[in-house]
């Protein structure tokens, strides 16, 4: 795991954007796995800026989102379809046919989930999976106790996650209970993972994921056995890491050619 600690969320997001931009330069038809939530907003903003400057091109890129709320159609204002359109897709030159977000209205969720996995495989697999992390260590919506080998499926949100997401819904009672999410096993098949975490609320989960034992009780800890993981943190999210100075030292002393790629 490569732990990249930056002073601010803006600086950490700029590093993350550089990693994405480099990939798209090397592989213009890359497949990206994308998250929603507060965390990736600065990254999306930076990628939009780079696109406007002509430094990234999404024309041949394919995307798969991690998750969606059950019962929300693509036009629902709180759906992750809407979130992605609003915060990213409508600002870039991605082709709509290359965009995939789980179908919250799927009548048969298990059958849809199998299809989603097949679509990922048919696209050649995910080159770079971008991830946020929940305060409980969830990645995607794989809540604690999710199998580390899980695949795309329905999940019931933990009470804390519903509380954390209440701000997006104008009240906890409006937050759905169920989601469709890629599994941890699905995420682990991506060729590279890039996890972002900002703010002190994430520091406990981040410390567990990076320096704790691998456990289903902190789903992000599964990334310890992924061969290529980068974790971009701001100072507050890194506050629980015992080896923060070591990670900073390693990042500062990498050969220039190896940075952010
Ligand atoms: P957040 O959520 O970015 O809104 O904090 C992260 C997550 O739940 O993965």
Domain at 97, CATH number: 3.40.50.1360
- With a threshold of 0.85, does the pTM exceed it? yes
C-alpha 72/C-alpha 156 separation (Å) is 15
Smallest CA separation from ligand 1 atom 8, residue: 134
In this prediction, residue 256 has a pLDDT band, given cuts at 50, 70 and 90, of confident
Q: Say whether pLDDT at 261 is over 70.
A: no
Mean per-residue pLDDT, 186-202:
98
Structure confidence at residue 258 (pLDDT): 80
Q: Which atom, in ligand 1's list, is nearest to the CA of 202?
A: 5
Task: Check pLDDT > 70 for residue 115.
Answer: yes
Three-state secondary structure call for residue 57: coil
In the chain, at which residue ranges do the beta strands (DSSP E only) sit?
Answer: 2-6, 31-34, 62-65, 67-69, 99-100, 128-131, 153-156, 178-181, 192-197, 229-234
pLDDT of 235 strictly over 70: yes
pLDDT mean over 98-127: 98
Q: State how many domains the chain has.
A: 1
Which residue(s) pair with 215 in the sheet? Answer: 218
Pocket residues for ligand 1 (CB within 6 Å)?
37-39, 132-134, 138
Full domain range(s) for residue 230: 2-258
Mean pLDDT score of the chain, rounded to an integer?
97
Per-residue pLDDT for 259 more than 80? Answer: no
CA distance 129 to 120: 12
222 pLDDT higher than 80: yes
- At 145, list the tokens: 């106790």
Calculate the alpha carbon distances from 112 to 68, 102, 188, 211 in Å: 12, 8, 20, 36
User: What pLDDT is attached to residue 159?
Assistant: 93
Residue 233 binned pLDDT confidence (cut-offs 50, 70, 90): very high
d(CA 63, CA 96) in angstroms, rounded, equals 10
Would you name the residues annotated as active-site residues?
67, 136, 138, 143
pLDDT of 30-73, one tens digit each? 999 999 999 999 999 999 999 999 999 999 999 999 999 999 99
Distance 60 CA to ligand 1 centre (A): 27
Tell me the per-residue pLDDT of 169-181, one tens digit each, with 9 for 90 and over: 999 999 999 999 9
**Percentage of the chain with pLDDT > 90?**
95
Ligand 1 geometric centre to CA of 18 (Å): 21
**What is the model's pLDDT at position 152?**
98
Cα 36 to ligand 1 centroid, rounded to whole Å: 7
For ligand 1, the distance from its centroid to the CA atom of residue 78, given in whole angstroms, is: 15
- To test the ligand 1 pocket, which listed residue (39, 43, 88, 131) has its Cβ within 8 A of the most ligand atoms? 39
213, pLDDT greater than 80: yes
């Amino acid at each position: 795991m490569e732990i990249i600690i930056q002073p601010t969320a803006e600086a950490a997001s700029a590093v993350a954007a550089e990693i994405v931009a480099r990939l798209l330069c090397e592989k213009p038809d890359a497949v990206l796995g994308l998250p929603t939530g507060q965390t990736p907003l600065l990254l999306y903003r930076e990628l939009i800026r780079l696109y406007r400057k002509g430094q990234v091109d999404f024309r041949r890129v394919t995307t798969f989102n991690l998750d969606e709320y059950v019962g929300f159609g693509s036009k629902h204002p709180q759906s992750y379809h809407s979130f992605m359109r609003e915060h990213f897709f409508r600002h870039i030159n991605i082709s709509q046919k290359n965009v995939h977000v789980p179908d919250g209205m799927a009548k048969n969720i298990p059958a849809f989930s199998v299809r989603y996995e097949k679509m990922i495989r048919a696209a050649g697999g995910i080159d770079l999976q971008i991830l946020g992390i929940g305060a409980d260590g969830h990645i995607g919506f794989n809540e604690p106790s999710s199998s580390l080998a899980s695949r795309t499926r329905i999940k019931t949100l933990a009470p804390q996650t519903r509380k954390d997401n209440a701000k997006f819904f104008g009240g906890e009672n409006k937050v759905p209970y169920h989601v469709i999410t890629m599994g941890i096993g699905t995420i682990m098949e991506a060729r590279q993972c890039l996890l972002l975490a900002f703010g002190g609320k994430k520091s406990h989960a981040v410390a567990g994921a990076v320096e704790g034992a691998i456990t289903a009780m902190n789903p992000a800890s599964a990334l310890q056995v992924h061969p290529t993981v980068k974790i971009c943190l701001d100072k507050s999210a890194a506050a629980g890491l015992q080896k923060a100075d070591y990670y900073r030292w390693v990042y500062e002393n990498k050969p220039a050619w190896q940075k952010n790629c």
